[in-house]
């Protein structure tokens, strides 16, 4: 059996404004109806695969469980990284965890933000690499290049072995310039490095012990001292803070001599920019791809996306343009400058614009909320609470609140009283009152919250009880 190991801690700034630090691209449906994370998990279910092991950070842990539940997948374990430390520590932590139950088993490490349209072909490729992995090889998957791409690293293949689909891997090549990429494309012996790996738990631990022994010591401490937290496994933050920030390529793969690569030519993209999203989208006869309430008039080779049902995006006479409209931010760029979107994020951070990192919808363990209107001393929010979910028991120093239920039923606690509030009913929470909101029903509950006070920040919350243990977080 193969254990899928899904990595989903990245921020994806090159797909701003849809992808942001608080809600990165892997959780969004960039191509198709499912999120990239859901599609990645869905590809790796069925015969030959165990439940996936997921590595994420604390902010995304409930998004991970929610999105897996939506597609009927129960994860085997979810490891929480206290902070990002790149792919080598994440993969090593997963291997050390799996060593406890299946040291001879295989693990398939895959980023959760890639697009692979043909899931069956990908599973066939994984099957083709199994023998090599069982024999102690560190197997990677290389994508047959379709153009001279400068945004990917490359893999140079060695001489093929008769009757074996996997090929010895000669070397890794850093991201090239245009001339070098063109040369490698013409050579035909190079593949794009997809960052997907298959190996046995035993083999990858031996490789880390040989090539990065200090990393093994520090990550093992973090795993050994990890704590169970509401079904998650939280790696020890003090030990993790001492772990080196390094990729698995640099830590192990570029130093190992037991490497194989399985070529894959059935379609793949890491969606590393809006130009990649345009390429993976369905186009009309003039190369225009639209999403949501977007209309193109006399446009060519253009991507138009409206990421809110209340927005209408119209492009007229555009050529080679990316236009992505969110409720709080709009991106317009030439397709050739797609990789420079990260410069926009840096510029917004410099001016301290919250749009640089914060998503319009604030996702929480119990559901989500969005601000509808903000004034100097008031704020209006729409709040959606999942069935059976509850907000923390809390109070505020600086604001009072009115709640108006517009869908479903809310169970409301205010100091020593409890009551059920149905659609079109409202309740007032005075400043300083200890209160909680719950959804006792079987459908999402939606309410409008009107806050008034001298300070309306999200940090004006004193938590007394929380079913998600956020009252115990630092």
pLDDT greater than 70 at residue 384: yes
Q: Could you tell me the pLDDT band of residue 431, with boundaries at 50, 70 and 90?
A: very high
Domain boundaries, the chain: 2-264, 281-338, 361-465
User: Confidence class of residue 62 from pLDDT cuts 50, 70 and 90?
Assistant: confident
Residue 178 has pLDDT above 90, yes or no: yes
Averaged over 414-423, what is the pLDDT? 95
Q: For residue 108, give the nearest of 65, 136, 141, 84 by alpha carbon.
A: 141
* pLDDT-based confidence at residue 160 (cuts at 50, 70, 90): confident
Look at residue 474 in the predicted model and tell me its pLDDT.
46
What's the topology of domain 361-465? Jelly Rolls (2.60.120)
> Taking the domain 2-264, which CATH number applies?
3.90.550.10
Residue 216 and residue 205: Cα distance in Å, rounded? 8
pLDDT interval class at 246 (50, 70, 90): very high
- Residue 208: pLDDT band (50, 70, 90) is very high
| C-alpha radius of gyration, the chain, whole number | 24
Give residue for tokens 């960039």.
30
Q: What is the pLDDT of residue 231?
A: 78
Average pLDDT over every residue of 351-380: 92
Q: Can you give the pLDDT at residue 59?
A: 84
What is the per-residue pLDDT for 416? Answer: 94
Residue 393 CB contacts under 8 Å (≥ 6 apart), including other chains: 413, 434, 435, 436, 463, 464, 465, 466
Q: Per-residue pLDDT tens for 112-157? A: 999 999 999 999 999 999 999 999 999 999 999 999 988 899 999 9
Asked whether 113 and 8 are in contact (CB, 8 A), the reply is: yes
- The CA distance from 447 to 425, in Å, is 10
What tens digit of pLDDT does each residue of 281-291 get? 999 999 999 99
**Does the structure show a pLDDT above 70 at 472?**
no
Q: Is the pLDDT of residue 47 over 50?
A: yes
pLDDT value at 75 more than 90: no
**β-sheet bridge partners, residue 111:** 7
Confidence of residue 159 (pLDDT cuts 50, 70, 90): confident
The average confidence (pLDDT) of the chain is: 93
Q: What is the mean pLDDT of residues 380-393?
A: 95
Domains 2-264 and 361-465 share a fold: no
Q: Which of 189-193, 395-399, 463-467 has the lowest mean pLDDT?
A: 463-467
Q: How large a percentage of the chain has pLDDT more than 70?
A: 98
Q: Which residues, other chains included, contact 172 with Cβ-Cβ below 8 Å and sequence gap of 6+?
A: 153, 154, 155, 156, 193, 249, 253, 254
- Look at residue 163 in the predicted model and tell me its pLDDT: 61
CA–CA gap between residue 108 and residue 41 (Å, rounded): 12
pTM, to two decimals: 0.87
* Cα–Cα distance measured from residue 303 to residue 275, given in angstroms and rounded to the nearest whole number: 8
Name the residue with higher pLDDT: 197 or 45: 197
Q: Which of 218, 254, 248, 250 is nearest to 236 (CA)?
A: 218
Mean pLDDT of 180-190: 94
pLDDT > 90 fraction of the chain, expressed in percent and rounded: 82
Q: How confident is the model at residue 415 (pLDDT cuts 50, 70, 90)?
A: very high
Closest residue by Cα to residue 324 from 279, 357, 369, 277: 277
Measured CA to CA, the distance from residue 226 to residue 237 in angstroms comes to: 8
What integer pLDDT is reported at residue 309 of this predicted model? 87
Q: Which residues of 405-418 are buried (b: 16+ CB within 10 A; e: fewer)?
A: beebbbbbbbeeee
Question: Is the pLDDT at 225 greater than 70, yes or no?
Answer: yes
Backbone angles phi, psi at 334, to 5 degrees: -70, 140
């Amino acid at each position: 059996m193969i254990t899928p190991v899904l990595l989903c801690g990245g921020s994806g700034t090159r797909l701003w404004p849809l992808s942001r630090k608080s809600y990165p691209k892997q959780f969004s449906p960039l191509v198709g109806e499912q999120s990239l994370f859901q599609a990645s998990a869905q590809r790796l279910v069925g015969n030959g695969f165990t439940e996936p092991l997921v590595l994420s950070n604390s902010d995304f842990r409930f998004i991970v469980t929610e999105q897996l539940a939506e597609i009927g997948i129960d994860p085997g374990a979810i490891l929480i990284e206290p902070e990002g430390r790149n792919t080598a520590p994440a993969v090593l932590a997963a291997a050390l965890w799996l060593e406890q139950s299946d040291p001879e088993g295989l693990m398939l490490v895959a980023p959760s933000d890639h697009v692979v349209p043909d899931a069956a072909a990908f599973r066939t490729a994984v099957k083709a690499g199994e023998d090599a992995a069982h024999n102690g090889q560190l197997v990677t998957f290389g994508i047959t290049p379709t153009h001279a791409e400068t945004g990917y690293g490359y893999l140079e293949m060695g001489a093929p072995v008769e009757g074996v689909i996997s090929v010895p891997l000669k070397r890794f090549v850093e991201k090239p310039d245009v001339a070098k990429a063109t040369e490698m494309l013409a050579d035909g012996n190079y593949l794009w490095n997809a960052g997907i790996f298959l190996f046995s738990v035993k083999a990858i631990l031996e490789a880390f012990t040989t090539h990065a022994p200090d990393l093994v010591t520090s990550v093992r401490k973090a795993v050994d001292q990890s704590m169970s937290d509401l079904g998650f496994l939280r790696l020890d933050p003090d030990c993790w803070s001492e772990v080196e920030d390094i990729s698995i390529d640099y830590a192990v793969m570029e130093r190992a001599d037991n490497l194989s690569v399985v070529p894959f030519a059935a379609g793949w993209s890491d969606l590393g920019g809006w130009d990649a999203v345009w390429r993976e989208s369905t186009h009309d006869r003039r190369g225009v791809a639209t999403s949501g309430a977007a209309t193109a008039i006399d446009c060519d080779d253009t991507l138009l996306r409206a990421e809110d049902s209340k927005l209408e995006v119209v492009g007229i006479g555009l050529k080679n343009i990316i236009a992505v409209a969110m409720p709080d931010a709009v991106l317009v760029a030439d397709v050739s400058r797609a990789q420079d979107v990260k410069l926009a994020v840096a510029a917004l951070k410099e001016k301290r614009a919250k749009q640089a990192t914060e998503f319009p919808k604030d996702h929480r363990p119990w559901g989500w909320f969005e601000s509808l209107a903000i004034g100097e001393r008031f704020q209006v929010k729409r709040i959606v609470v999942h069935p059976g979910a509850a907000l923390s028991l809390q109070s505020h120093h600086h604001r009072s609140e009115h709640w108006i239920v517009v869908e479903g039923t809310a169970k409301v606690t205010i100091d020593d009283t409890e009551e059920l509030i149905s659609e079109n009913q409202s309740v007032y929470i005075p400043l300083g009152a200890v209160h909680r909101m719950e959804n006792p029903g079987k459908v999402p509950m939606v309410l409008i919250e009107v806050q008034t006070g001298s300070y309306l920040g999200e940090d004006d919350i004193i938590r007394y009880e929380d079913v998600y243990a956020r009252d115990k977080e630092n």
